[in-house]
Structure 1
Amino acid sequence: MSVQEKKILLKVEHLKQYFPIKGGILGRTLNYVKAVDDISFTIYEGETLSIVGESGCGKSTTGRAILRLDEPTSGSVEFDGVDLLALSKKEMNKMRKNLQIIFQDPYASLNPRQTVRQILLEAMEIQNVLPKNERDKRVLELLELVGLSAQQADRYPHEFSGGQRQRIGIARALSVNPKLIIADEAVSALDVSIQAQVLNLLKKLQRELGLTYLFISHDMGVVRYISDRIIVMYLGKIVEMADKKTLFENPQHPYTKALLSAIPSTDIDRKKERIILKGDVPSPINPPTGCRFHSRCPFATDVCRTTNPELRKPKHSNEGHLAACHHMEEISSPKPLNI
């Protein structure tokens, strides 16, 4: 199915999320943390779109802004034809049955005083998704769906392992029959072997239930396994966007190349050049002028320091591949660069 034939489920345009920094006796706003600074993207029905980047790049803030857990500063978020930012809080609460989130910490996101049954029933009650007499049966169905047993329904969160708790978090998200699930670092707190189990579960549920995922992660290996398309973010901006195959085989932005070079390889015959970025990520309070990445980029020139590069299609690449770099044609190479 071509991109034109796919149905757009979520459309984000010019999203900004600035957090005020207050100080002084009167508590005036002194500055802003520009966590997300003018980003636009779409998610198609039934796909997994991943956002990847270092800590502090704005990926989790993007997920929270879409759900209005933090009210966005400006921009538009359109879900299934409905402008989410135009809804009242009451209307947004009703809409949340269609958009659910799985949090990073499966223990902190579950009420320790409630049993699994109570956690799942509470979600169904808030959104009024089923008649009362059918909810208990649905609880047991959900537990089976995520790989837990009916006998575990009356246990408390502390009686489960980390992987099992994340399965409970997934069951809670599924309990209201959502169309879109935002997985915010959903496997980063788990052991590698458990990560694989949870990722396989998410893929299985997507096939069976027709789910759409926005998957947020800092781990390129995880993203490679679960994604259809990938967005790379740096300091509140999108620097590259492409389908998985294109991004991993033909990255265009120097930052993407550096991220990919950090993935461990099991191929002992293939020498892999590691790209080490100099310096630290600049502060989102006072981000660099021009290209946000220029202070760490080995290819930066004067134009990078003064002019912000627009996302554009690289030459000799496929439709849907966009990158924001002034010099990507000159530095482009299918292999990691020797810097």
Structure 2
Amino acid sequence: MSQNELLKVNHLKQYFPIKGGFLGKTVDQVKAVDNVSFEIYEGETLSVVGESGCGKSTTGRAILRLDEPTDGDIKFDGEDLLSLNKSEMRKRRKNLQVIFQDPYASLNPRQTVGKILTEAMGIQNSVPKDKQRERAIELLETVGMNAEQINRYPHEFSGGQRQRIGIARALSVNPKLIICDEAVSALDVSVQAQVLNLLKKLQKQFNLTFLFIAHDLGVVRHISDRIIVMYLGNVVEIADKKTLFENPQHPYTKALLSAIPIPDPEVKKERIILQGDVPSPISPPSGCRFHTRCPFATEICKTDVPELRNLDHMKEGHSAACHHIETIESGEMQAKY
């Protein structure tokens, strides 16, 4: 895997205003993404996981500027995306594509598959007009479909086939980075595996880079190189896949991993049940946002925001945001269940 940095996100914030009152003034803000930083290297798959509402999809949308970020820096291939005007950004989207969660809602029901695929090529001028249909057929075959399906409409396909069309559309403009926003969560498990294997095959074939947003840890384990764990708009842990699954450091990551079922009734596994619900992103807890549900929380967790850090016992590139990593690791600190 090359170590050329393709995307760098620094201190990204995405707040949504809450309007209220007679004049519709902004009375509060939803802090969906709050101070998130990471980088993606060429040819890798970086996954973002966490509970619903933690800011995963919002992060992806902010990078594409489908929602304008409130604050922060986004550099793609060395270029500052936030300094571009709308028409310049539209041109850059040739290199930044997205596969949405719902393959039916993201395809125009009035267009044939051929029109859906050639429209993107026309907008980005990525293929000459006389070659577009030929390229569309080639793309359909690349994603495991037949050339004769090019004149059909989205409603004539199954969910898995629609998602393959979505993947073909993303590939039609030869992108460098594809953001997969819960790209397989609406599919049956058997179809999920087929689509994941297809994505891995296409990654090798076209040297693609993926930002893979998901909540299913089994899916993430299959496709990722590195993983980011998010909680309530913050990054709580970053590590490569093997390290994260074998040696999680943050209490939230440990709780998430403990929920993965093991297909062996003889193996007894401790299930970490978190107390309470996820707090509201309108008024997130002070200090560490996880402290209201954390079995190790102390007074410092309520007041001080923990920084992402790498410690001596952790592998290079593995960081977690917790005040008590050392004492939890050494066993000095016991969980308060």
**Which amino acid in the other structure matches residue 253 of structure 1?**
H
SS at structure 2 position matched to 1:153: helix
Task: Confirm whether residue 142 of structure 1 aligns to residue 139 of structure 2.
Answer: yes
**Which amino acid in the other structure matches residue 31 of structure 1?**
D
- Superimposed CA distance per residue, residues 188-246 of structure 1 (whole angstroms, 9 cap, x where no aligned partner): 00000000000000000001110000000001110010000000000000000000000
Of 57, 79, 93, 1:96 maps to: 93
**Which amino acid in the other structure matches residue 291 of structure 2?**
H
1:270 Cα offset (Å): 2.2
- Superimposed CA distance per residue, residues 257-287 of structure 1 (whole angstroms, 9 cap, x where no aligned partner): 0000011112333211111111000000000
Task: Confirm whether residue 306 of structure 1 aligns to residue 303 of structure 2.
Answer: yes
Aligned to 1:131: 128
1:27 Cα offset (Å): 1.4
Looking at structure 2, the residues matched to 209 and 39 of structure 1 have their Cα atoms a distance apart, in angstroms, of 29
State the aligned residue count. 334
SS at structure 2 position matched to 1:290: coil
Task: Confirm whether residue 15 of structure 1 aligns to residue 12 of structure 2.
Answer: yes
Give TM-score, length-normalised by structure 2. 0.97
Give TM-score, length-normalised by structure 1. 0.97
The share of aligned pairs that are identical, in percent, is: 75
- Superimposed CA distance per residue, residues 277-330 of structure 1 (whole angstroms, 9 cap, x where no aligned partner): 110000000000000000000110000011110000133111110000011111
Of 28, 31, 34, 1:31 maps to: 28
Looking at structure 2, the residues matched to 259 and 62 of structure 1 have their Cα atoms a distance apart, in angstroms, of 20
Looking at structure 2, the residues matched to 210 and 263 of structure 1 have their Cα atoms a distance apart, in angstroms, of 31
Aligned to 1:6: 3
- Superimposed CA distance per residue, residues 96-115 of structure 1 (whole angstroms, 9 cap, x where no aligned partner): 00000000000000000000
**Which amino acid in the other structure matches residue 49 of structure 1?**
L
Question: Which structure 1 segments of 5+ residues have no match?
Answer: none
Aligned to 2:242: 245
Task: Confirm whether residue 173 of structure 1 aligns to residue 166 of structure 2.
Answer: no
Looking at structure 1, the residues matched to 124 and 145 of structure 2 have their Cα atoms a distance apart, in angstroms, of 23
Looking at structure 2, the residues matched to 325 and 131 of structure 1 have their Cα atoms a distance apart, in angstroms, of 53
Question: Which structure 2 segments of 5+ residues have no match?
Answer: none
User: RMSD in angstroms over aligned alpha carbons?
Assistant: 1.3
**Which amino acid in the other structure matches residue 110 of structure 2?**
R
- Superimposed CA distance per residue, residues 41-70 of structure 1 (whole angstroms, 9 cap, x where no aligned partner): 000000000000000000000000000000
Contact 1:315–1:329 at 8 Å: present in 2 too? no
Map 1:155-194 to 2 at 5 A: 155-194=152-191
Aligned to 2:80: 83
1:331 Cα offset (Å): 1.4
1:333 Cα offset (Å): 7.5
Looking at structure 2, the residues matched to 236 and 314 of structure 1 have their Cα atoms a distance apart, in angstroms, of 23
**Which amino acid in the other structure matches residue 302 of structure 1?**
E
Aligned to 1:271: 268
Looking at structure 2, the residues matched to 315 and 283 of structure 1 have their Cα atoms a distance apart, in angstroms, of 34
Looking at structure 2, the residues matched to 88 and 21 of structure 1 have their Cα atoms a distance apart, in angstroms, of 26
Aligned to 1:331: 328
Looking at structure 2, the residues matched to 317 and 236 of structure 1 have their Cα atoms a distance apart, in angstroms, of 24
Looking at structure 1, the residues matched to 257 and 327 of structure 2 have their Cα atoms a distance apart, in angstroms, of 19
SS at structure 1 position matched to 2:90: helix
Aligned to 2:221: 224
**Which amino acid in the other structure matches residue 327 of structure 2?**
E
Task: Confirm whether residue 60 of structure 1 aligns to residue 62 of structure 2.
Answer: no
Aligned to 2:203: 206
Looking at structure 1, the residues matched to 9 and 240 of structure 2 have their Cα atoms a distance apart, in angstroms, of 18
Task: Confirm whether residue 281 of structure 1 aligns to residue 278 of structure 2.
Answer: yes
SS at structure 2 position matched to 1:332: helix
Looking at structure 2, the residues matched to 209 and 129 of structure 1 have their Cα atoms a distance apart, in angstroms, of 15
SS at structure 2 position matched to 1:39: strand
Aligned to 1:74: 71
SS at structure 2 position matched to 1:330: helix
Of 114, 119, 137, 2:116 maps to: 119
SS at structure 1 position matched to 2:106: coil
- Superimposed CA distance per residue, residues 157-195 of structure 1 (whole angstroms, 9 cap, x where no aligned partner): 000000000000000000000000000000000000000
Looking at structure 1, the residues matched to 157 and 317 of structure 2 have their Cα atoms a distance apart, in angstroms, of 42
Aligned to 1:256: 253
Aligned to 2:314: 317
Detail structure 1 runs of 4+ shifted over 2 Å in the superposition.
267-270
Looking at structure 1, the residues matched to 114 and 327 of structure 2 have their Cα atoms a distance apart, in angstroms, of 58
**Which amino acid in the other structure matches residue 89 of structure 1?**
K
